[in-house]
Amino acid sequence: MVLLVQKYGGTSVGAIAKIQNVAKKVLAAQAAGNQLVVVVSAMGPTTDVLIAKIKELTAAADPREYDALVSIGENESAALLAQAIIAQGGQAVSLTGWQVGIRTEDQHNKCKIINVDTRRIKQELRAGKIAVITGFQGLNSRGDVTTIGRGGSDTSAVVIASALGADVCEIYTDVDGVYTTDPRLLPEARLLEAISHEEMLEMASLGAGVLHPRAVECAKVNDMTIAVKHSHKTGKGTLITMAGEKLNTVSGVAADDDVAKIGLLHVPDVPGMAAELFGALAAAKINVDVIVQSIHEEAKKNDISFTVNNEDYARALKLTEEKARGWDGCRVAGNTDVAKVSVVGIGMASAPGVAARMFSALGREKINIQMISTSEIKISCIIEKKELKRAVKSIHSEFELDK
């Protein structure tokens, strides 16, 4: 008997009729001879409504009470899905994070899962029941409810699947799977049959919102295969699986327009300047993405450019300007009119020329590259925002991703 872990997101259980649909799907998978563990998110906007309530009380929520409050959306959806399965003639039981024994770190809000006690789940499965488990939440050593951050239900599902030794972790969502690029940007985008964990990790970090990066990381560590599928359509979706099974030179093109650029010109070339600037940004919890530094040899001056997301832009600019005041002759320029286009591919490391092909694809379209950043399996270019769609199209076609 195959053990399947399925995860349904907030939009998949966003209304009673949708929960009934999910129940039908789950029962069909059981009838096909599988043991079923189902992990659910809160119904649609429930978590946001709860957060709005606590924000009416305080700007700085108590971390413990925040978790106690926002975790209840999952309790609701789990109980309703279990009830829907029972109403359709199945056997099911809803289990919360504390009932299962999903142990997390002691801290609150964005904490990590340490381990999962599988005894209660296995007991329910042996009794022929479908175990419906709340995503997003766990229990710390003090006996208090914790949550593991937004998008955490993906991670819950992968961790539970790993602890149970499940054969596959199916993530049901509101898209058909992972595409070579965002199909809303480029109609030629092709659904990928398979992609490696590493590539998916880069795609997720680069703005492909299908799956939470932590869930992919966790699947990679545990060698867990994830299947991303549409929750209310049939279709094979995309398998996120171990590298080596499929080796794409380039798997996809990621587009991200939530990018703003800050340039510091003529920074004195004295050791510790970069550390001071980025230390200050880190202390302000501003996540810096691409960083490029170039040296004016003759003048002993540096130019430093970096990107942040739009939400952090104003704060980052202000902080950078404050720092620049102390550095003689230094000038700051900000620009929110930029975007990031990236290619991702596990085969890239062993296939020279990918960068050159990407740059020439952009060059053909006369798209100016403002910054470049590379890793072993991805290349990102910062370009003008209005060029993003053309850039994606040109690169997608260069690597024949529509074929």
Query: Is 311 marked within a binding site?
Result: no
The answer to whether residues 255 and 185 touch, using CB atoms and an 8 Å cutoff, is yes
Comparison of 62 and 193: residue with beta carbon closer to a copy of itself: 62
The answer to whether residues 78 and 46 touch, using CB atoms and an 8 Å cutoff, is no
The answer to whether residues 208 and 182 touch, using CB atoms and an 8 Å cutoff, is yes
Closest contact distance (angstroms) between CB of 6 and a copy of itself is: 19
Closest contact distance (angstroms) between CB of 158 and a copy of itself is: 24
Pairing of strands 92-95, 34-40: unpaired
Rg over CA atoms, the chain: 23
Q: Beta partners for 2? A: 34
The answer to whether residues 197 and 216 touch, using CB atoms and an 8 Å cutoff, is yes
Closest contact distance (angstroms) between CB of 57 and a copy of itself is: 5
Chain contacts with a copy of itself (rule: CB under 8 A): 16, 19-20, 50, 53-54, 56-58, 61-62, 64-66, 68-69, 72, 75-76, 78-80, 82-84, 86-87, 92-94, 96, 98-99, 120, 143-144
Query: Is 318 marked within a binding site?
Result: no
Comparison of 90 and 151: residue with beta carbon closer to a copy of itself: 90
> Which is it for the CA torsion 281, 282, 286, 291, positive or negative?
positive
Query: Is 7 marked within a binding site?
Result: yes
Comparison of 20 and 373: residue with beta carbon closer to a copy of itself: 20
Comparison of 20 and 375: residue with beta carbon closer to a copy of itself: 20
Query: Is 47 marked within a binding site?
Result: yes
Closest contact distance (angstroms) between CB of 338 and a copy of itself is: 39
The number of residues making up the chain comes to 403
From 248, 280, 241, select the one nearest 262 (Cα to Cα). 280
Closest contact distance (angstroms) between CB of 101 and a copy of itself is: 10
Query: Is 179 marked within a binding site?
Result: yes
Cα 196 from Cα 243, distance rounded (Å)? 5
Cα 364 from Cα 113, distance rounded (Å)? 48
Query: Is 172 marked within a binding site?
Result: no
The answer to whether residues 125 and 160 touch, using CB atoms and an 8 Å cutoff, is no
Closest contact distance (angstroms) between CB of 277 and a copy of itself is: 35
Helix (H) or strand (E) holding 202: helix 197-205
Comparison of 78 and 377: residue with beta carbon closer to a copy of itself: 78
CB neighbour list of residue 275: distance below 8 Å, 6 or more residues apart: none
Torsion of CA 99, 101, 105, 108, to 10 degrees: -10
Comparison of 80 and 346: residue with beta carbon closer to a copy of itself: 80
Comparison of 75 and 293: residue with beta carbon closer to a copy of itself: 75
Instruction: Write out the two tokens for 212.
Output: 């939470």
Closest contact distance (angstroms) between CB of 285 and a copy of itself is: 22
Alpha helices in 326-402 (DSSP H): 354-364, 388-398
Comparison of 19 and 319: residue with beta carbon closer to a copy of itself: 19
Closest contact distance (angstroms) between CB of 230 and a copy of itself is: 23
The answer to whether residues 274 and 303 touch, using CB atoms and an 8 Å cutoff, is no
Q: Which residues are annotated as a binding site for ATP?
A: 7-10, 173-174, 179, 184
Q: Which residues are annotated as a binding site for substrate?
A: 47, 74
